[in-house]
Amino acid sequence: MRAAPTILHLDMDAFFAAAEQAAKPSLRGKPVVVGGLGPRGVVATASYEARRFGVHSAMPMGQARRLAPNAAYLVPRFAFYRSISEQVMELLGRLSPLVEPLSLDEAFVDLEVGGVADDSASARAAGEKLRSDILATTGLAGSVGLAGSKMIAKIASEEAKPDGLVLIEPGTERELLGPRSVRILPGVGPATGEHLRRAGMSTVADLVEAGEDELVRLLGRAHGTSLHRMARGHDDRAVVAERDAKSVSVEDTFDVDLHDRVRIRVEAERLAERCVGRLRASGHSGRTIVLKVRRYDFSTLTRSETLRGPTDDPGVVREAVGRLLDAVDTTGGVRLLGVGVSGLADFTQEDLFAQAEARAEAEAETGAVSGEDGGVGGGEQGGPGASEAGAGAVGGDAAEEASGSVERHWAPGHDVRHTVYGPGWVQGSGVGRVTVRFEEPGSVPGRVRTFAVDDPDLVPGEPLPLVGRGPE
C-alpha cells in the first residue's frame, strides 16, 4: 500500500455505446445498445440512457429489446473502438511509462513512476488533466479513480461514474470497505459470494471478523488468504506495463444451429483464418491449436493439437482445425464454434510452412481437394459461406461483405458511403431494402434515405474520426 494516491484507474464510460453516439449525431442523448442482434445475441454495452430502462451488459438481446423497444440497436465495430482506444492509451503513456491496459476501455497507471504525482493534490490534478485531454481528443468521457492500491483505485473509478473523478485517501480503506458487499472484492463472483453468504458473511467487515483461518477453511489456502488481506484493505499488486498474451481466439454464435457438416467445416475454417489474422496483428505465432464446439444441448467440447513448433501460417492452422473437427460429433447441431491459438511465441517454425505447402501440392496432384475445401475458397472470395456467416453470426469484428449473386448484408450501425450523398451509417435493412442515415461525427443529425440492397452507388465505408469536444 502506498502513502499517496498515485495509482490511477481509468474506465471509459459506456465505451462502445458512447463511441457510437459520438460518431452518430442523431443518437446523442438517446438510448443505444451495442451487441449481437440475432436471437442469441447479448448486450456488449448499453448507453446510460438505455440503462435507465434496465438494460445492462451480458443481458440477452431479446430481453433488452423488451425493456427498451425504442433504443437504437447496433452491431459492434471493433476496429473503430480499437482506434479510439489507441488514442486513449497514448494519452495514458504521456503520464507514465507504467500503463497496464485491462481492455480497450480500461487501464491502470502508476503516476509515481511517471513522476507526475507524489501526493493527493498532484494526483488529482493529473487525473483531471487526463479526463480533459481524453474529452478534447476523442469527445468521450472517462471516469478516474485514484488510490494507494489497484483494488481501491478501481473501486474509486466505479464510484466516479459517469464522467467523474474520485480520490480515496490511503489509510481510509478499512472504513470504505467495511459496509460494502463482499462482491466488491476482486475474485468474489456470484458463486463465491453465495458461498460466503451461506456462511454468514455478506459484507467485507464480516470477512475481517471471521478471520483468515475461517476463510482458508471455506475457500482454500490461496484464495482465503488473499481475500482476507484485501478485506483489510491490503493490496500490493504492482502496475505491470506488459501483460503478455497467453492466447488468441475468435468465436461465433449462430442464430440457427448448424447441422450440415460441410457448412460447419466452412465456418470452422473461416474462424481459423480470422484467428490467424489476429495472431499476426499481435506479432505472435502459436504452437497449440484449439477448437471449441458448443452443441445444440449447450454441452461444450474443446479439442486441441500441439504442433512441432509455433506458426502463423493460415494453411497449417486451418488443417489442424479440420483434423480437430473430424474428431467431434456434431450430430444434433452446433450453436457456437471457436478457434484459438495458444503457446504463443514471437517467431515461427519455418519447416511448418514447407510442410503445409508440400501437403497442398500433394493434394492438388492427386485430386484430393474435397468439396468442403472448395466451399472455404468460395467463402473467402465472398461466396455463400461468407455471406451467411456475416448474417447469422454474432461476435465477429465486422459484417462480412458478399458479392456476385448473393444479396449483400448491411449490419445496423456499420459505415457506408454513397456516391451522391457521401458517408452515412446503416439504420436497418430487410425485404431487399437498406435504410441509411447520412451524417458525420461533427455534423448535425442527418437525413434518412432508403435504397435497394444491391444499389451500386452504395458501398461499405470506413469509420470517420471522432471530433474532440474540448474541456467543458
Distance CA 100, CA 110 (A): 9
Nearest to 34 by CA among 53, 12, 22, 19: 19
pLDDT tens sequence for the chain (472 residues): 789 999 999 999 999 999 999 999 999 999 999 998 887 788 999 999 999 999 999 899 999 999 999 999 999 998 899 999 999 999 999 999 999 998 889 999 999 987 899 999 999 999 999 999 999 999 999 999 999 999 999 999 999 999 999 999 999 999 999 999 999 998 888 888 999 999 999 999 999 999 999 999 998 888 899 999 999 999 999 998 866 667 889 999 888 899 999 999 999 999 999 999 888 887 788 889 999 999 988 888 999 998 888 888 899 999 999 999 998 999 899 999 999 999 887 655 544 444 444 444 444 443 333 332 222 222 232 322 222 223 333 333 333 333 333 456 799 999 999 999 999 999 999 899 999 999 999 999 999 999 999 999 999 999 999 987 755 5
- What pLDDT was estimated at residue 409? 79
Question: DSSP for 264-326?
Answer: HHHHHHHHHHHHHHHHHHTT-EEEEEEEEEEETTS-EEEEEEEEEEEE--HHHHHHHHHHHHH
Residue 114's pLDDT is what? 75
**Cα–Cα distance for residue pair 297/333, rounded to 1 Å:** 9
Give the three cell numbers for residue 37.
Answer: 442482434
Q: pLDDT value at position 222?
A: 86
Sorted by where each begins, the domain ranges of the chain are 1-171, 178-231, 247-390
**Strand, coil or helix: 373:** helix
Coil/strand/helix, residue 331: coil
pLDDT, residue 338, reads 95
Q: How is domain 178-231 classified at the architecture level of CATH? A: Orthogonal Bundle (1.10)
77 near 398, Cβ under 8 Å? yes
How do residues 381-402 score in pLDDT, each as one tens digit? 232 222 222 333 333 333 333 3
Residue 450's identity, in one-letter code, is: T
Respond yes or no: is residue 106 known to be catalytic: yes
240: helix, strand or coil: coil
Sign of the dihedral through C-alpha 192, 197, 198, 200: positive
User: Strands 72-74 and 300-311: what pairing?
Assistant: unpaired
Evaluate whether 178-231 and 247-390 have a shared fold: no
Max intra-chain CA distance, the chain: 75
From 106, 173, 251, 400, active-site residue: 106
Distances (CA, A) of 89 to 82, 109, 203, 328: 10, 10, 35, 42
Determine the pLDDT at residue 120.
96
Who contacts 453 (Cβ-Cβ below 8 Å, separation ≥6)?
A: 407, 408, 410, 429, 432, 433, 434
Whole-number pLDDT of residue 244: 63
Rounded to the nearest 5°, which phi and psi values hold at 37?
A: -95, -5
Q: What is the pLDDT of residue 203?
A: 96
CATH class name, domain 247-390: alpha beta
- CATH (residue range 1-171): 3.30.70.270
